Structure 1
Amino acid sequence: MNFETVTAEEFGASLRGLGLNLLVRDVAAQADFLADLFGMTAHRVSADFAIMAYGAQVFQLHADGTYRAHPLQGLLPEAGPRGAGLEIRLYDTNPDAAAARAAARGAVVLQPPTDKPHGLRETCILCDNGYAWVASQPKPDMQIKEPET
Protein backbone atom coordinates (compact mmCIF):
# COMPACT_ATOMS: atom_id res chain seq x y z
CA MET A 1 0.00 0.00 0.00
CA ASN A 2 1.34 3.41 -0.92
CA PHE A 3 0.76 5.51 2.19
CA GLU A 4 1.32 8.71 0.21
CA THR A 5 -1.56 8.09 -2.22
CA VAL A 6 -4.01 5.81 -0.41
CA THR A 7 -7.43 7.34 0.23
CA ALA A 8 -8.75 7.71 3.77
CA GLU A 9 -11.42 5.09 3.05
CA GLU A 10 -8.92 2.57 1.67
CA PHE A 11 -6.50 3.14 4.55
CA GLY A 12 -9.24 2.81 7.17
CA ALA A 13 -10.62 -0.36 5.60
CA SER A 14 -7.13 -1.92 5.54
CA LEU A 15 -6.55 -1.64 9.29
CA ARG A 16 -6.62 -4.92 11.21
CA GLY A 17 -5.65 -6.28 14.60
CA LEU A 18 -4.60 -3.82 17.28
CA GLY A 19 -4.45 -0.16 16.32
CA LEU A 20 -2.79 2.81 17.92
CA ASN A 21 -3.93 6.38 17.39
CA LEU A 22 -2.30 9.16 19.39
CA LEU A 23 -4.00 12.50 19.87
CA VAL A 24 -1.37 15.23 19.78
CA ARG A 25 -1.26 19.00 19.92
CA ASP A 26 1.04 19.34 16.87
CA VAL A 27 1.09 16.50 14.33
CA ALA A 28 4.15 17.72 12.40
CA ALA A 29 6.21 18.22 15.57
CA GLN A 30 5.29 14.76 16.89
CA ALA A 31 6.06 13.13 13.52
CA ASP A 32 9.46 14.86 13.45
CA PHE A 33 10.21 13.72 17.03
CA LEU A 34 9.39 10.09 16.20
CA ALA A 35 11.37 10.13 12.96
CA ASP A 36 14.40 11.73 14.60
CA LEU A 37 14.58 9.63 17.77
CA PHE A 38 13.31 6.27 16.58
CA GLY A 39 13.84 6.26 12.81
CA MET A 40 10.14 6.07 12.04
CA THR A 41 8.81 7.14 8.66
CA ALA A 42 6.05 9.75 8.51
CA HIS A 43 3.51 9.71 5.68
CA ARG A 44 0.77 12.16 4.70
CA VAL A 45 1.81 14.64 7.41
CA SER A 46 -0.67 17.49 7.67
CA ALA A 47 -1.91 19.76 10.43
CA ASP A 48 -4.56 17.13 11.24
CA PHE A 49 -3.09 13.71 10.54
CA ALA A 50 -0.07 11.49 9.86
CA ILE A 51 0.54 7.84 9.22
CA MET A 52 3.63 6.66 11.09
CA ALA A 53 5.54 3.51 10.12
CA TYR A 54 7.84 1.65 12.49
CA GLY A 55 9.18 -1.30 10.55
CA ALA A 56 6.14 -3.11 9.16
CA GLN A 57 3.80 -1.63 11.76
CA VAL A 58 1.74 1.50 11.24
CA PHE A 59 -0.16 3.79 13.56
CA GLN A 60 -1.79 7.18 13.33
CA LEU A 61 -1.36 10.64 14.77
CA HIS A 62 -4.39 12.91 14.89
CA ALA A 63 -4.55 16.54 15.97
CA ASP A 64 -6.82 17.27 18.92
CA GLY A 65 -9.19 19.26 16.70
CA THR A 66 -10.01 16.22 14.57
CA TYR A 67 -11.76 14.74 17.61
CA ARG A 68 -14.22 17.64 18.09
CA ALA A 69 -17.27 15.35 17.97
CA HIS A 70 -15.61 12.45 19.83
CA PRO A 71 -16.34 11.91 23.55
CA LEU A 72 -12.61 11.53 24.25
CA GLN A 73 -12.03 15.21 23.42
CA GLY A 74 -13.53 16.32 26.74
CA LEU A 75 -10.98 14.23 28.66
CA LEU A 76 -7.90 15.79 27.09
CA PRO A 77 -5.99 18.25 29.28
CA GLU A 78 -5.63 21.78 27.94
CA ALA A 79 -1.97 21.82 28.97
CA GLY A 80 0.58 19.50 30.46
CA PRO A 81 1.30 15.87 29.71
CA ARG A 82 -1.20 13.29 28.61
CA GLY A 83 -0.86 9.58 28.14
CA ALA A 84 -0.09 8.82 31.80
CA GLY A 85 0.12 5.09 32.28
CA LEU A 86 0.71 4.35 28.59
CA GLU A 87 4.07 2.93 27.55
CA ILE A 88 4.73 2.64 23.84
CA ARG A 89 7.44 0.03 23.43
CA LEU A 90 9.75 0.05 20.42
CA TYR A 91 11.58 -3.27 20.55
CA ASP A 92 13.80 -2.64 17.53
CA THR A 93 15.37 0.67 18.53
CA ASN A 94 18.83 1.12 20.03
CA PRO A 95 18.18 2.69 23.45
CA ASP A 96 21.59 4.35 23.73
CA ALA A 97 21.26 6.06 20.35
CA ALA A 98 17.65 7.11 21.05
CA ALA A 99 18.58 8.58 24.45
CA ALA A 100 21.47 10.51 22.90
CA ARG A 101 19.19 11.95 20.21
CA ALA A 102 16.59 12.81 22.86
CA ALA A 103 19.17 14.63 24.97
CA ALA A 104 20.37 16.56 21.91
CA ARG A 105 16.78 17.72 21.31
CA GLY A 106 16.26 18.63 24.96
CA ALA A 107 13.62 15.90 25.39
CA VAL A 108 12.95 14.38 28.81
CA VAL A 109 14.76 11.09 29.31
CA LEU A 110 12.85 9.58 32.23
CA GLN A 111 15.18 6.61 32.44
CA PRO A 112 18.64 6.47 30.90
CA PRO A 113 19.60 3.32 28.99
CA THR A 114 19.57 0.52 31.53
CA ASP A 115 20.03 -3.25 31.39
CA LYS A 116 16.88 -4.82 32.82
CA PRO A 117 16.45 -8.24 34.42
CA HIS A 118 13.91 -9.22 31.73
CA GLY A 119 16.69 -9.39 29.11
CA LEU A 120 16.31 -5.95 27.52
CA ARG A 121 18.37 -2.79 27.52
CA GLU A 122 15.92 0.10 27.45
CA THR A 123 15.42 3.82 27.89
CA CYS A 124 12.20 5.72 28.57
CA ILE A 125 11.71 9.08 26.81
CA LEU A 126 8.80 11.50 27.13
CA CYS A 127 7.59 13.41 24.08
CA ASP A 128 6.06 16.88 24.38
CA ASN A 129 2.60 15.30 24.55
CA GLY A 130 3.58 13.26 27.60
CA TYR A 131 3.62 9.81 26.02
CA ALA A 132 6.30 7.45 27.31
CA TRP A 133 8.34 5.94 24.44
CA VAL A 134 10.49 2.97 25.50
CA ALA A 135 13.29 2.18 23.07
CA SER A 136 14.70 -1.27 23.71
CA GLN A 137 16.75 -4.13 22.34
CA PRO A 138 17.87 -7.43 23.82
CA LYS A 139 20.99 -7.08 25.96
CA PRO A 140 24.09 -8.18 24.01
CA ASP A 141 24.31 -11.43 25.97
CA MET A 142 20.64 -12.12 25.21
CA GLN A 143 20.73 -11.71 21.42
CA ILE A 144 18.70 -14.50 19.87
CA LYS A 145 20.03 -15.90 16.63
CA GLU A 146 17.57 -16.21 13.78
CA PRO A 147 17.07 -19.82 12.64
CA GLU A 148 18.99 -20.75 9.54
CA THR A 149 16.88 -21.53 6.51
Structure 2
Amino acid sequence: MARNSPLSLTLWATDVGALADFLSAVTGAEVVARHPGYAELNHQGCDIEIHADETFRGHPWYEALAREGVARGIGAELTFRVDDVLQRFRAAQRLGAQVIAAPYEFEGRLECQLMGPDGYVLGLWQPWNSATSA
Protein backbone atom coordinates (compact mmCIF):
# COMPACT_ATOMS: atom_id res chain seq x y z
CA MET A 1 0.00 0.00 0.00
CA ALA A 2 1.24 3.46 -0.81
CA ARG A 3 0.45 5.33 2.36
CA ASN A 4 -0.61 8.82 1.40
CA SER A 5 -2.82 9.89 4.29
CA PRO A 6 -1.56 11.57 7.46
CA LEU A 7 -3.05 8.68 9.44
CA SER A 8 -3.33 5.07 8.39
CA LEU A 9 -4.66 2.11 10.35
CA THR A 10 -3.58 -1.52 10.26
CA LEU A 11 -6.12 -3.98 11.64
CA TRP A 12 -5.59 -7.69 12.24
CA ALA A 13 -8.53 -9.98 11.48
CA THR A 14 -9.58 -13.60 11.64
CA ASP A 15 -11.66 -13.04 8.48
CA VAL A 16 -10.25 -10.24 6.32
CA GLY A 17 -13.13 -10.26 3.85
CA ALA A 18 -15.80 -10.10 6.54
CA LEU A 19 -14.15 -7.14 8.28
CA ALA A 20 -13.57 -5.32 4.97
CA ASP A 21 -17.19 -5.84 3.91
CA PHE A 22 -18.44 -4.72 7.34
CA LEU A 23 -16.34 -1.53 7.32
CA SER A 24 -17.40 -0.73 3.77
CA ALA A 25 -21.12 -1.19 4.49
CA VAL A 26 -21.11 0.54 7.87
CA THR A 27 -18.70 3.43 7.32
CA GLY A 28 -18.84 3.93 3.57
CA ALA A 29 -15.13 3.15 3.24
CA GLU A 30 -14.07 2.27 -0.30
CA VAL A 31 -12.44 -1.14 -0.80
CA VAL A 32 -9.31 -0.33 -2.82
CA ALA A 33 -7.72 -3.80 -2.93
CA ARG A 34 -8.59 -7.30 -1.79
CA HIS A 35 -6.31 -10.33 -1.83
CA PRO A 36 -6.19 -13.52 0.25
CA GLY A 37 -5.18 -12.43 3.73
CA TYR A 38 -5.25 -8.71 2.90
CA ALA A 39 -7.63 -5.85 2.13
CA GLU A 40 -7.09 -2.15 1.70
CA LEU A 41 -9.77 0.48 2.24
CA ASN A 42 -9.94 4.25 2.22
CA HIS A 43 -12.32 6.32 4.31
CA GLN A 44 -12.31 10.04 3.52
CA GLY A 45 -8.56 10.05 2.95
CA CYS A 46 -7.63 7.67 5.80
CA ASP A 47 -5.95 4.46 4.60
CA ILE A 48 -7.00 1.24 6.34
CA GLU A 49 -5.16 -2.06 5.88
CA ILE A 50 -6.60 -5.34 7.10
CA HIS A 51 -4.24 -8.29 7.50
CA ALA A 52 -4.95 -11.91 8.37
CA ASP A 53 -3.26 -12.94 11.61
CA GLU A 54 -0.94 -15.36 9.83
CA THR A 55 0.47 -12.76 7.41
CA PHE A 56 2.94 -11.49 10.01
CA ARG A 57 3.98 -14.16 12.48
CA GLY A 58 6.51 -11.71 13.93
CA HIS A 59 3.68 -9.50 15.22
CA PRO A 60 4.20 -9.18 19.00
CA TRP A 61 0.69 -10.42 19.74
CA TYR A 62 0.65 -13.24 17.19
CA GLU A 63 1.15 -16.05 19.70
CA ALA A 64 -1.34 -14.61 22.22
CA LEU A 65 -3.99 -14.12 19.54
CA ALA A 66 -3.53 -17.65 18.25
CA ARG A 67 -3.46 -19.17 21.74
CA GLU A 68 -6.09 -17.06 23.52
CA GLY A 69 -8.40 -16.17 20.64
CA VAL A 70 -8.96 -12.73 22.12
CA ALA A 71 -10.66 -9.93 20.21
CA ARG A 72 -8.20 -8.07 18.01
CA GLY A 73 -9.96 -4.75 18.57
CA ILE A 74 -9.86 -4.80 22.36
CA GLY A 75 -8.89 -1.48 23.88
CA ALA A 76 -9.60 0.73 20.86
CA GLU A 77 -12.54 2.57 19.33
CA LEU A 78 -12.42 3.51 15.67
CA THR A 79 -14.52 6.63 15.09
CA PHE A 80 -15.84 7.47 11.63
CA ARG A 81 -17.71 10.51 10.36
CA VAL A 82 -20.47 9.12 8.15
CA ASP A 83 -23.13 10.55 5.86
CA ASP A 84 -26.13 9.16 7.77
CA VAL A 85 -25.73 7.65 11.24
CA LEU A 86 -29.22 6.15 11.34
CA GLN A 87 -28.81 4.42 7.97
CA ARG A 88 -25.30 3.15 8.83
CA PHE A 89 -26.48 2.00 12.27
CA ARG A 90 -29.25 -0.09 10.68
CA ALA A 91 -26.76 -1.55 8.17
CA ALA A 92 -24.48 -2.57 11.05
CA GLN A 93 -27.37 -4.24 12.86
CA ARG A 94 -28.29 -6.20 9.71
CA LEU A 95 -24.69 -7.42 9.57
CA GLY A 96 -24.85 -8.66 13.16
CA ALA A 97 -23.07 -5.86 15.01
CA GLN A 98 -23.50 -5.69 18.76
CA VAL A 99 -25.08 -2.39 19.79
CA ILE A 100 -23.12 -0.61 22.48
CA ALA A 101 -24.99 2.71 22.26
CA ALA A 102 -27.93 3.36 19.92
CA PRO A 103 -27.91 6.71 18.08
CA TYR A 104 -28.08 9.69 20.42
CA GLU A 105 -27.56 13.45 20.23
CA PHE A 106 -24.52 14.91 21.95
CA GLU A 107 -22.99 18.37 21.57
CA GLY A 108 -24.13 19.00 18.00
CA ARG A 109 -23.54 15.47 16.82
CA LEU A 110 -25.61 12.37 16.26
CA GLU A 111 -23.52 9.35 17.20
CA CYS A 112 -23.62 5.69 18.13
CA GLN A 113 -21.22 2.90 19.07
CA LEU A 114 -21.23 -0.67 17.77
CA MET A 115 -19.01 -3.72 18.01
CA GLY A 116 -18.23 -5.50 14.77
CA PRO A 117 -16.09 -8.44 13.68
CA ASP A 118 -13.10 -9.35 15.88
CA GLY A 119 -14.27 -7.03 18.65
CA TYR A 120 -13.59 -3.77 16.83
CA VAL A 121 -15.70 -1.01 18.37
CA LEU A 122 -16.87 1.59 15.88
CA GLY A 123 -18.13 5.04 16.75
CA LEU A 124 -20.22 6.58 13.98
CA TRP A 125 -21.05 10.29 13.97
CA GLN A 126 -22.40 13.12 11.88
CA PRO A 127 -23.03 16.81 12.56
CA TRP A 128 -26.51 17.19 14.02
CA ASN A 129 -28.88 19.96 14.97
CA SER A 130 -32.10 18.51 16.36
CA ALA A 131 -33.96 21.73 15.52
CA THR A 132 -33.15 21.42 11.81
CA SER A 133 -32.43 17.70 11.29
CA ALA A 134 -35.05 15.12 10.44
TM category (shorter chain) comes to: 0.7 to 0.9
Q: Find out whether 1:67 has 2:56 as its counterpart.
A: yes
Query: Are the equivalent residues in 1 in contact too, given 2:112–2:125 (CA < 8 A)?
Result: yes
Alignment of 1:28-47 (within 5 A): 28-47=17-36
Inter-partner Cα distance in structure 2 for 1:29 and 1:52? 13
TM, length-normalised to structure 1: 0.77
2:90 counterpart of 1:126 = no
Which residue, 77, 100, 104 being the options, matches 1:110?
100
Instruction: Tell me the equivalent position of 2:37.
Output: 48
**Equivalent position to 1:90, from 80, 85, 88:** 80
Alpha-carbon distance in 2 for matches of 1:16, 1:134: 20
Q: What TM-score does the superposition give when structure 2 sets the normalisation length?
A: 0.84
- Structure 2 partner of 1:139: 128
Provide the secondary structure at the position in 1 that maps to 2:61.
helix
Query: Take 2:15 and 2:108, find their aligned partners in 1: how far apart are those partners?
Result: 35
Higher strand share: 2
Gaps of 5+ in 2: none
Question: How many Å apart are 1:31 and its aligned residue?
Answer: 0.8
Does 2:59 match 1:81? Answer: no
**Structural RMSD (CA):** 2.2
CA distance in 1, matches of 2:103, 2:43: 20
Label 1:135 to 1:142 Cα distance change in 2 as closer, same or farther (>3 A).
farther
CA distance in 1, matches of 2:104, 2:88: 13
What's the % identity of the aligned pairs? 27
* Alpha-carbon distance between aligned partners in 2 of 1:55 and 1:38, rounded to the nearest angstrom: 10
- Select between 69-78 and 56-65 the one with higher mean Cα deviation: 69-78
Whether the aligned pair in 2 keeps the contact of 1:120 and 1:138 (CA below 8 Å) is: yes
Q: 1:15: Cα distance to partner? A: 4.4
Aligned pair 1:24/2:20, yes or no? no
Stretches of structure 1 that go unaligned for 5 or more consecutive residues are: 1-7, 144-149
Higher relative contact order, chain-length normalized (CA < 8 Å, sep 6+): 2
Tell me the CA shift for residue 85 of structure 1: 2.3
Q: Distance in 2 between matches of 1:64 and 1:112?
A: 31
